[in-house]
């Protein structure tokens, strides 16, 4: 009788063991993926779940016709151990392919190349090589960086470092910035993103040549799921989707401006507090994120309510007289509350004009380009993109065609003609960085407290 009770369970286990890894995923109807919470992999952004690894994993689940289940173990060693023991279908966590890891894991095709870099803080003497270090070097435990440094100890016998089993790379970058530790090693993509938040971080030198990142799969001869991943990445490469994703996540952070970022951080503390409530009010009125509106205001005027451009636009949000009148706002453009409300309403009106099929965050980036260069010129660039076989609904594609509007060969084919098309590209990319910094400061509870605004409007005119 007891055997009969266990018989269905035994039969189920037997069937499951006979299935390939791919068949088990399809039978379960879900893909279990291990990843990390970080800016380069997966996080909850203002527009929902985001990150390069999230987008890639979500796309792979769709490719297989199953649901995605993400799990985020606390540490890198936990991720590696769990996928090695078969407790997940794969790890999509920005993992470098290394010789040690290849002994215990299967790897998919490389989808990105990064360079490990030695990082220190401004104010210290810049080391020229690993033999020149004078202080504490700490890296993530079981990371590719630790493996690399162990190998380099043969060349640099005095090289010493500590492996931290609890912290991630971004947290070690923070410790360098706080001067708790002297050095760390981080991948170039992580450095590019985090230097906007910690502008005093410096790259001393590259530790090695560029290295490949890839997904890790459980070890063994069953490569059915891995083979499907190869098909998936082949399709991403052939369609240009992979290049589009890399451009989306890293294209706007490649030009790091140390001086500009330091000035922005200073202005957040000194200039933003009296305007914050008005940005929040305008956000509540339009449904926009107040931090996005603040980023637009900073790009336009550096939060200067008396700003005037040579073309006649003025105020914090740099609006024209006609725009204010069209929006029904009769107060002066130098009135910061009126200007902020006007800018928010104008941006919202542009977003409504875009086709409904365009999803966030591309919808916002395209609308910002139109805020700068005009809706007609944006449409011209989208048409050029479509004619060239690119995606007119993706900012990563459209931004390649906006600069063509300044070339006669191209703008003579468009409805609205010439435009200084490079300006909206730089405009949007700057705002994205300003916005990222405000979102990050909010998450870290680092924004200064609001203060009551007190402004005298000297100019009654619109």
Q: Which of the residues are catalytic?
A: 300
Contact 206, 150 (CB under 8 A): no
The answer to whether 138 and 175 have CB atoms below 8 angstroms apart is: yes
H or E element that contains 67: strand 67-71
Cα dihedral value 414, 418, 420, 424, nearest 10: -30
- Distant-in-sequence contacts of 311-315, Cβ < 8 A, 24+ apart: 315/339, 315/342
| Plot region of 116 (φ>0 → left; ψ -120 to 50 → alpha; else → beta) | beta
Tokens found for residue 374? 């005009």
Tokens 């203060």 belong to: 451
Cβ(386)–Cβ(361) below 8 Å: no
Which of 372, 368, 398 lies closest to 248, judged by CA?
A: 398
361 prior amide bond cis, ω within 30? yes
**What is the rounded CA–CA span in Å between residue 168 and residue 37?**
9
- Whether residue 186 contacts residue 73, with contact meaning beta carbons closer than 8 Å, is answered with no
Nearest to 296, CA basis, from 430, 119, 425, 195: 430
Pairing assessment for the beta strands 162-164 and 138-140 based on DSSP bridges: parallel
Torsion of CA 91, 440, 392, 428, to 10 degrees: -150
The DSSP result for 110-130, as a single string, is: --EEE-EEEEEEBTBPPPSSG
DSSP code at position 37: B
Separation of alpha carbons 131 and 2, rounded Å: 68
User: Cα(428)–Cα(387) distance, rounded to whole angstroms?
Assistant: 23
Structure tokens at 46: 């203002």
Task: For residue 416, give the 3-state DSSP assignment.
Answer: coil
How many CA atoms, within 13 angstroms, populate the side-chain half-sphere of residue 137? 21
């Amino acid at each position: 009788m007891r055997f009969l009770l266990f018989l269905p369970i035994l039969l189920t286990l037997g069937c499951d063991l006979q299935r390939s890894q791919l068949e088990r995923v399809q039978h379960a109807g879900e893909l279990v993926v291990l990843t990390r919470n970080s800016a380069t992999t997966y996080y909850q952004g203002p527009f929902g779940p985001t990150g390069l690894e999230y987008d890639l994993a979500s796309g792979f689940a769709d490719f297989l016709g199953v649901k995605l289940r993400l799990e985020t173990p606390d540490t890198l060693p936990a991720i590696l151990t769990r996928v090695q023991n078969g407790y997940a279908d794969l790890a999509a966590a920005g993992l470098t392919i290394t010789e040690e890891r290849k002994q215990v894991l299967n790897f998919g095709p490389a989808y990105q190349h990064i360079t490990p870099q030695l990082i220190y803080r401004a104010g210290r003497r810049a080391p020229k090589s690993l033999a020149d270090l004078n202080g504490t070097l700490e890296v993530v435990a079981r990371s590719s960086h630790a493996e690399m440094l162990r190998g380099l100890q043969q060349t640099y016998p005095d090289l010493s470092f500590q492996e931290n089993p609890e912290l991630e790379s971004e947290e070690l970058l923070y410790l360098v910035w706080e001067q708790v530790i002297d050095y760390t090693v981080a991948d170039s993509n992580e450095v590019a993103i985090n230097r906007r938040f910690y502008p005093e971080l410096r790259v001393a030198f590259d530790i090695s040549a560029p290295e490949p990142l890839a997904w890790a799969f459980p070890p063994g001869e069953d490569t059915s799921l891995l083979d499907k991943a190869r098909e998936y990445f082949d399709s991403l490469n052939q369609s240009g989707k992979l290049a589009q994703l890399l451009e989306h996540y890293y294209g706007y952070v490649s030009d790091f401006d140390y001086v500009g970022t330091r000035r922005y951080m200073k202005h957040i503390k000194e200039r933003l507090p009296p305007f914050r409530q008005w940005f929040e009010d305008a956000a509540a009125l339009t449904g926009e994120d107040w931090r996005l509106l603040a980023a637009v205001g900073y790009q336009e005027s550096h939060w200067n309510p008396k700003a005037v451009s040579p073309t006649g636009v003025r105020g914090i949000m740099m609006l024209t007289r006609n725009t204010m009148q069209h929006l029904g706002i009769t107060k002066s453009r130098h009135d910061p509350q009126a200007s902020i409300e006007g800018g928010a309403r104008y941006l919202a009106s542009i977003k409504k004009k875009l086709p409904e099929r365009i999803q966030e965050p591309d919808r916002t980036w395209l609308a910002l380009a139109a805020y700068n260069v005009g809706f007609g010129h944006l449409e011209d660039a989208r048409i050029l993109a479509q004619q060239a076989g690119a995606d007119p609904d993706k900012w990563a594609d459209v931004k390649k065609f906006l600069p063509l509007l300044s070339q006669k060969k191209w703008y003579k084919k468009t409805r609205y003609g010439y435009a200084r098309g490079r300006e909206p590209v730089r405009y949007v990319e700057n705002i994205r960085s300003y916005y990222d910094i405000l979102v990050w400061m909010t998450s870290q509870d680092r924004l200064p407290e609001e203060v009551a605004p007190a402004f005298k409007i000297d100019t009654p005119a619109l």
